[in-house]
Chain A
């Protein structure tokens, strides 16, 4: 199996190379086949690898394949070495499998776009980078994938580059994640300085001996890694790029900004759990960041009108859950939520894409409505996704993963009631905005006519994803219901089990509360948005103000604009022509001025020249007198 690993990222890479070199002159079917086919093949190989892995776990818990030595300098030795263990397997499965579905969907979705080749090239490159990210055995290679996905995200957000706002959004996404990336890079330096290696396994092994728990170094390292994760995963306070990133085509949002790339932060923290466990402070920070983010983003999602932005905020919020889980040490719960979330959020985005396409690129949900009848397949799959998102009990995958997080946020050693409460409020909000989305888009009267029905090729991926949105949760049941823990058993080959508090109340109680809250959310949403009542109640001034506040994403953009962008622009504008240049020009000017003064002496007057001679002799004689 080892030798197969390289093909997983290599196939999409091949697709990228073919498409970028010959894509413009290739006919569309070729593009589609190359673009989607390579990823599908990768998915097949992944499944083969996965099956082999399940059947007989390799000796050291991982497959690995050394491709070539990247660079070796002194003590630093970095190889291009792929490594697949249980955790990676989950990720590459999602990446290739969901990725393959999205690629298939895109083949139809992008059919009419003249830059289809560029789209698939970027998508393939993305898949390749993302695979490298999760398959890397050392942090530098991880960083390569990390930046690579950033690049592809940038390329795809700005895919329709003719619209200036799109390229602005792309830049913003790249820059904000870059801040995180840089922090990550510094973390790497610090790690290397301390441990002398960047191999992740080696780090995990050496860290406990090298660092004492909670020491400044380890806190610093983990915080830096965390910041890196926050950037990629759009966590507070680096979350502002994700809503804008929706400028890209819907499949992009589905793949990159919902299913895979944005969870890279989760992967990183999970992967580096050995370090994080040594730093309780950072763990607490992770949890708090996650909790705060899920609330803030959830509230923002409530007020959005753009369908994709709702989903984007929802994504931020859901990743907040994952962070929360990571922070309280519920490693497998976090990864499980990533697993289920990938399906339903990808589904929601793809479905939204179909809707938007069908309504002449209409993004505003309040100009949609009544699509239930017109687009039944879409409606049903969307409903499955929304249900999973709002975690309707038992029947959706979202319930199983989110419930675990809620439970652990109280019960794990790192959990507290506050975190639990925040998560609970988040669940309520999630249910509320999911309901709002469903009701406004699919019920009510039709405000924009549907002008085309989705292709079959687009619907099939939707159905497959909907299926998984419902059923993916069944592999992992809460302990008190069913003793089925396929997922956590698998993941815990790599990740430690969650440490629990003692003397906990019954888990049933929590599940009941969560269920009630979720249903309440759905109900209130139904009350507020069913029919035409949706708009009226928002007119009162305080509510409107709150709505606007939420709508703008808690004014983070404005804040950053004021704090960073404006001063930066001011600084660059003021110094556009380089102050230091003034200095040299000043010297040159002084030279010319001096020339002017000296030149006066050359006025052609013989008598002045004689005075010059006199001055000279006076100087000499005076000097003689003085010496």
Chain B
């Protein structure tokens, strides 16, 4: 049972949950982005595990795409972070509350 896919999956789940905790608890946009990266990484890990389980390359291919997507996302995200910092002089998402009911 040591090497069962479930074990990997569990680690991935834990990492995923940790990322989620990060997103939820941090107020700094940069930290939130970091946490999201952790989550994406965990998802990628799950794919690798699944790919290994079925001995297919698809899991790894997917991981590659996740990688690319994470990069694109982070680039846009960081550009936004720059704008926020320039406009608000803060990184706190709680300060971004002008759009509300």
Contact = CB atoms under 8 A, between A and B. Distances in A.
A604 B100 contact: yes
Nearest to B24: A610
A604 B100 CA distance: 4
A611 interface: yes
A569 interface: no
Interface in B83-100: 93-94, 96-100
A611 B20 CA distance: 10
A251 B76 CA distance: 100
Contacts of B27: 607
A603 B94 contact: no
A604 B24 contact: no
B23 A604 contact: no
A605 interface: yes
Contact of B97 (A599, A605, A610): A605
A604 B97 contact: yes
Contacts of A614: 20, 24
A605 B101 CA distance: 11
Contacts of A600: 101
A604 B98 contact: yes
Nearest to A601: B101
Nearest to A611: B24
B101 A607 contact: no
Interface of B is mostly: loop
B94 A607 contact: yes
A624 interface: no
A443 B3 CA distance: 134
B23 A603 contact: no
B100 A602 contact: yes
B23 A610 contact: yes
A75 interface: no
A606 interface: yes
* Residue among B94, B98, B99, B101 with the highest chain A CB neighbour number at 10 A: B101
Contacts of B20: 614
Interface string B44-82: 000000000000000000000000000000000000000
Nearest to B20: A614
A617 to B, nearest CB: 9
Interface in A557-612: 599-600, 602-607, 610-611
Contacts of B23: 610
Contacts of B98: 604
Contacts of B99: 604
Interface in B12-59: 20, 23-24, 27
A602 B98 CA distance: 11
Contacts of B24: 607, 610-611, 614
Contacts of A604: 96-101
B96 A606 contact: yes
Contacts of A603: 97, 100-101
Contacts of B94: 605, 607
A591 to B, nearest CB: 16
Nearest to B99: A604
A610 B36 CA distance: 12
A611 B25 CA distance: 10
* Residue among A602, A603, A607, A614 with the highest chain B CB neighbour number at 10 A: A607
A615 to B, nearest CB: 11
A167 to B, nearest CB: 57
Nearest to B27: A607
B23 to A, nearest CB: 6
Contacts of B96: 604, 606
Contact of B93 (A599, A602, A606, A611): A606
Nearest to A596: B101
A607 B29 CA distance: 11
Contacts of A605: 93-94, 97, 100
A603 B98 CA distance: 9
A605 B94 CA distance: 6
Contacts of A606: 93, 96
B10 to A, nearest CB: 15
Interface in A135-180: none
A606 to B, nearest CB: 5
A550 to B, nearest CB: 75
* Residue among A599, A602, A606 with the highest chain B CB neighbour number at 10 A: A606
Contacts of A611: 24
Contacts of A610: 23-24
Nearest to B29: A606
A600 B101 CA distance: 8
B90 to A, nearest CB: 13
A602 B97 contact: no
A605 B92 CA distance: 11
B38 to A, nearest CB: 14
A614 to B, nearest CB: 7
Contacts of A599: 101
Contacts of B97: 603-605
A529 B23 CA distance: 109
Contacts of B100: 602-605
A599 B100 CA distance: 9
Nearest to A603: B100
Nearest to A617: B20
Interface in A181-213: none
Contacts of A602: 100-101
A604 B99 CA distance: 5
Contacts of A607: 24, 27, 93-94
A604 B101 CA distance: 7
A413 B20 CA distance: 105
A35 B27 CA distance: 97
B27 to A, nearest CB: 7
A517 B42 CA distance: 121
A599 B101 CA distance: 6
B32 to A, nearest CB: 8
A13 B27 CA distance: 92
Interface of B: 20, 23-24, 27, 93-94, 96-101
Given A599-B101, A603-B100, 20 more contacts: A600-B101, A602-B100, A602-B101, A603-B97, A603-B101, A604-B96, A604-B98, A604-B99, A604-B100, A604-B101, A605-B97, A605-B100, A606-B93, A606-B96, A607-B24, A607-B94, A610-B23, A610-B24, A611-B24, A614-B20
Which are the 4 A-B pairs with shortest beta-carbon distances? A604-B100, A604-B97, A602-B101, A599-B101
24 contacts: A599-B101, A600-B101, A602-B100, A602-B101, A603-B100, A603-B101, A604-B96, A604-B97, A604-B98, A604-B100, A604-B101, A605-B93, A605-B94, A605-B97, A605-B100, A606-B93, A606-B96, A607-B24, A607-B93, A607-B94, A610-B23, A610-B24, A614-B20, A614-B24
